[in-house]
Chains A and B, each alone.
Chain A
């Protein structure tokens, strides 16, 4: 059963299996294990980023395509839900229509970019995606009547997904729409992740890996490399858009900073590299570590700074204001000690 769910792609390391299981259980029971708004926000963000990073891994880790347009697709999905909710009114139909149209728009745009630019060398493709993503971000900021510009859009999601919808209490936790929204996020993300796992372990995924390793060889045994690369780009874009839709359902707000900014693109890249490219499970580890660090490193450093206040220099170094510096140091160390990512390293030691 587990083998079928994981499409035969087991973690292949006991330690990795344990870590993944801990993450799964922690996310599945997050509202009960870590009560509180902040922890629930963090758990939901981890779920969404796992899917977003996994969809990017399909592109970078499995197909060898460097793209800087992934947040653009993420944003398309998010804006799809926002615009549908505003124009159709609050309701699950708006969420479904918005998500579907967002994913479709992302796939079509990815198809257009892929068709025109996947024939060129990798570096030019990366530059083209960067240019298109920047252009879309500027467009979204400027078309304020439609997109809300820099202020973004607020909208209503179905009442069943809001804190106002209450339906009892369990284990001392109030059961409300926010909890339902969290489990919608969790279940959707789990499903999308398993779908991606199925894709990379299918014959299609095998061809992508072959293309990543040597596109000329793949072409010489009969695979149309541009067609496969374009399909991978479309699929990856559609899944990123769905992740964006889930994010929009959870946040009930979209804006350029939360869905389209280049800093999110950099975060995705870091999560893929830290977790381990071309492994899918790397997305789980990378996203979990990174989002936890983003949300709790500052607090942790504040406590450490207070605890070492009697010592010279150290409290300054551990000042919460320097959290980005330490995040950078952690990234450099992880790349140095885990060049194949944490998953690659764990699989290596068995």
Chain B
């Protein structure tokens, strides 16, 4: 395994009176896709939000490239080079597609080459460039959310269920975009319920249960072992 870009050690996160993350340990290797798997409600989204600082870790350490993220504000973590795509897509519906994209560029100006690549990946975005993002379809909104994270090269991408509720054709576009990112050597921590996508993209996997990681290993190993899947997640992923 390559050196880690992100390490979580003994992280605890509470939401109101509920203990959501309990002594969570997680290592995200540099380069490649790490799948964060588990049943609903085990704390996958909370893990991503805790890494971003949207939920405060009550205890534990979160380090990226040796820098402790815990005392940093969310904006500061983002400026370190973390691209976060939340489950609800996180786009600004009152702004145009162009405005949404330019917000993602630190300088306010998008690199034309990178923009061409984004347009080639998601042609719909070029069609609706001047439209308000609120008028896009669900799939187009998700494309915009991913494209916004792709607007600049990031150290790490945190992506929460990018294919949730999307039509198969759009899922395939989304998977292809993520594959492109992976090919460029990006480090991605991906929460994904679609097994086909997880299997196709994942290099390593971490399975969560009850607020902590119960298994880590190669994605291929998990994908090829139905018994292991049954034991870790209560059902075979092939049935999802």
Contacts and interface: CB of A to CB of B under 8 A. Distances in A.
Chain B binds chain A: yes
A220 B92 contact: no
B75 to A, nearest CB: 5
Interface residues of A, number: 18
B102 A221 contact: no
A216 B148 contact: no
A225 B54 contact: no
Interface in A206-243: 206-207, 209-210, 212-214, 216-225
B79 A222 contact: yes
Contacts of B106: 222
Contacts of B94: 209, 212-213
A11 B166 CA distance: 36
A144 B73 CA distance: 46
A224 B73 contact: yes
Nearest to B134: A213
Please report whether the interface of chain A is mostly helix, strand, loop or mixed according to DSSP: helix
Interface string B66-83: 000000011110110000
Contact of A220 (B86, B93, B102, B108): B86
A217 B87 CA distance: 12
Contacts of B93: 213
Contact of B54 (A206, A212, A213, A216): A216
B74 A219 contact: yes
A344 to B, nearest CB: 12
Contacts of B102: 203, 206
A214 B75 contact: no
B95 A206 contact: yes
A225 B103 contact: no
Contacts of B103: 206-207, 210, 218, 221, 223
A219 B95 contact: no
A221 B84 CA distance: 7
A52 B15 CA distance: 42
Interface in B86-109: 86, 90-95, 99, 102-104, 106, 108
A161 B73 CA distance: 52
Contacts of B99: 206, 209
B52 interface: yes
Interface in A258-299: none
Contacts of A221: 78, 84, 90, 103-104, 148
A225 B75 contact: yes
A203 B148 CA distance: 16
Contacts of B95: 206, 209-210, 213
Contacts of A214: 90, 92
A213 B92 contact: yes
B85 to A, nearest CB: 10
Given A203-B108, A216-B54, A223 B75 contact: yes
Contacts of A206: 95, 99, 102-103
A64 B84 CA distance: 24
B90 A220 contact: yes
Interface of A: 203, 206-207, 209-210, 212-214, 216-225
13 contacts: A206-B95, A206-B102, A213-B95, A214-B90, A216-B74, A217-B90, A218-B103, A220-B78, A220-B84, A220-B86, A221-B103, A223-B103, A225-B75
Interface of B: 52, 54, 73-76, 78-79, 84, 86, 90-95, 99, 102-104, 106, 108, 148
Given A207-B103, A212-B94, A220-B75, 16 more contacts: A203-B108, A210-B92, A210-B103, A214-B92, A217-B86, A218-B103, A219-B73, A219-B74, A220-B52, A220-B74, A221-B103, A221-B148, A222-B75, A222-B79, A224-B73, A224-B75
